[in-house]
Amino acid sequence: MQHIDLSTNIAGIKLDSYLMNASGPRCTSLQELEVIGKSASAAIVTKSCTIAFREGNPEPRYSDLPLGSIQSMGLPNLGYKAYLEMVPQLKSLGKPVLVSISGFSLEENIEMVSAFQNSDIDIIEVNFSCPNIPGKAQVAYDFEQVETALSKLTVLGDKPLGIKLAPYFDMSHFIAMAEILKKFPVKFITCVNSIGNTLIIDPETESPMIKPKGGFGGLCGDYIKPIGLANVRAFRELLPESIQIIGVGGIKNGIDAFEYLLAGADAVQIATCFEKEGANCFSRIENELKAFMDKKGYNKLSDAKGKLKPL
């Protein structure tokens, strides 16, 4: 096999490979984050943090499904100050650290983004798309709120800031969102979060698979790959190159990652597959991606990035 270079960057922060973990599974405690640091993940991505420690929703709140998962975790996390304190230890593992922030109000997001802007963190991802908090609307589906939030959050410092978006399903929404993003120095978007408020029913028990919110939860994994690909593709065509795109949704092998590359993703994240398989998934998928690219005669990401061929 020829040498295949999977290195990439987000806002100029170098990543040694195309794949990293997604905020969510196995990235809440220092111990879990250290495991990611020692794996082939290109970066260490934290669980979305809130102002204070959260237990999260009652269990069962996650369920494996044949083609992915459903979950309504409710943002269990240690509180942002714990992640702020961990930054030096995480940085010592020698790869970029991305913090995911998920406040319940703009004020909370401002407090947390300001704190991380004054830390040694490399990249900040603000989660505008947590569908699992009872009674809370997703910022990502309220375009006025998105615009107000970006006007305040993008002026707090020089570290690269991006936002994690919910999936969109209507062309008018892609266009409206892209117009807003273009007005601000957003460095990247991460597409997509889980598809909110889905229901999986177990016919044997005649109950939903998870307990919170009457069983309504975020759908992840294979089920959502076509939606993730469409969101990456639509935004890649609508946004300037200065706004990069991290693809996420249903990546469990090298070919899935290659499809996101064709759609135009600058890097990809992995959630459900990491939850199910553990940290070995990063090296496995990396090797599979390299083998597939080799078969195609490609030796670097730019050979295929965004190059989906029209029929």
Q: Which residues are catalytic?
A: 130
Q: Does 195 bind ligand FMN (CB under 6 A)?
A: no
**How many other C-beta atoms lie within 10 A of the C-beta of residue 209?**
21
* Secondary element (H or E) of residue 187: none
CA-CA-CA-CA dihedral for 302, 305, 310, 311, to nearest 10: 90
Q: CB–CB of 184/154 below 8 Å?
A: yes
| By CB under 6 A, residue 194 contacts ligand FMN | yes
Q: How far is the CB of 271 from ligand FMN (least distance, A)?
A: 3
Rule CB under 6 A: say whether 71 interacts with ligand FMN.
Answer: yes
> What one-character DSSP code corresponds to residue 269?
E
To 5 degrees, how large is the angle CA 50–CA 251–CA 113?
A: 25
Contacting ligand FMN (CB under 6 A), which of 39, 41, 100, 109? 100
In the sheet that holds 216-220, the strands lie side by side as 62-65, 68-71, 216-220, 195-199
Report d(CA 128, CA 163) in Å as an integer.
7
Query: Which spans in 130-222 are helix H?
Result: 143-153, 171-182
Helices (H) and strands (E) in the chain, counts: 9, 16
Please state the closest distance from residue 166 (CB atom) to ligand FMN, in A: 9
User: Is there a contact between 149 and 165 (Cβ–Cβ < 8 Å)?
Assistant: no
**Site membership for ligand FMN, residue 246 (CB under 6 A):** no
Instruction: Return the closest-CA partner of residue 44 out of 269, 289, 302, 221.
Output: 269
**Cα 175 from chain centroid?**
21
Longest dimension (CA), the chain: 53
281 near ligand FMN, judged by CB under 6 A:
no
Q: Is 217 in the site for ligand FMN (CB under 6 A)?
A: no
Question: Is 39 among the residues that bind ligand FMN (CB under 6 A)?
Answer: no
Q: Is 57 in the site for ligand FMN (CB under 6 A)?
A: no
CB of 30 to ligand FMN, least distance (A): 17
- Residues binding ligand FMN: number (CB under 6 A): 29
Supply the angle between the helices 106-117 and 80-91 in degrees, to the nearest 10: 30
By the rule CB under 6 A, 271 interacts with ligand FMN: yes
Task: Decide: is 101 part of the binding site for ligand FMN (CB under 6 A).
Answer: no
Residue 24 binds to ligand FMN (criterion: CB under 6 A): yes
What's the CA gap between 66 and 5, in Å, rounded? 33
Q: Residue 96 or 221: which CB sits closer to ligand FMN? A: 221
**Among the candidate windows 3-11, 30-38, 199-207, 268-276, which touches ligand FMN by CB under 6 A?**
268-276
Closest CB 297 distance from ligand FMN, rounded Å: 28
Q: Which CB sits closer to ligand FMN, 57 or 100?
A: 100
**Per-residue mark of binding to ligand FMN, 123-162 (x: CB under 6 A):** ----x-----------------------------------
Q: Does 23 sit near ligand FMN (CB under 6 A)?
A: yes
CB of 25 to ligand FMN, least distance (A): 5
Distance CA 100, CA 22 (A): 9
Pick 98 or 293: Cβ nearer ligand FMN: 98
Q: What is the C-alpha to C-alpha distance for residues 284 and 200, in angstroms, rounded to an integer?
A: 29
Q: C-beta of 139: minimal distance to ligand FMN in Å?
A: 12
Helix (H, G, I), strand (E, B) or coil at 16: coil
Q: Which residues bind ligand FMN (CB under 6 A)?
A: 22-25, 47-48, 62, 68-69, 71, 73, 75, 100, 127, 164, 193-194, 220-221, 224, 248-251, 270-273, 275
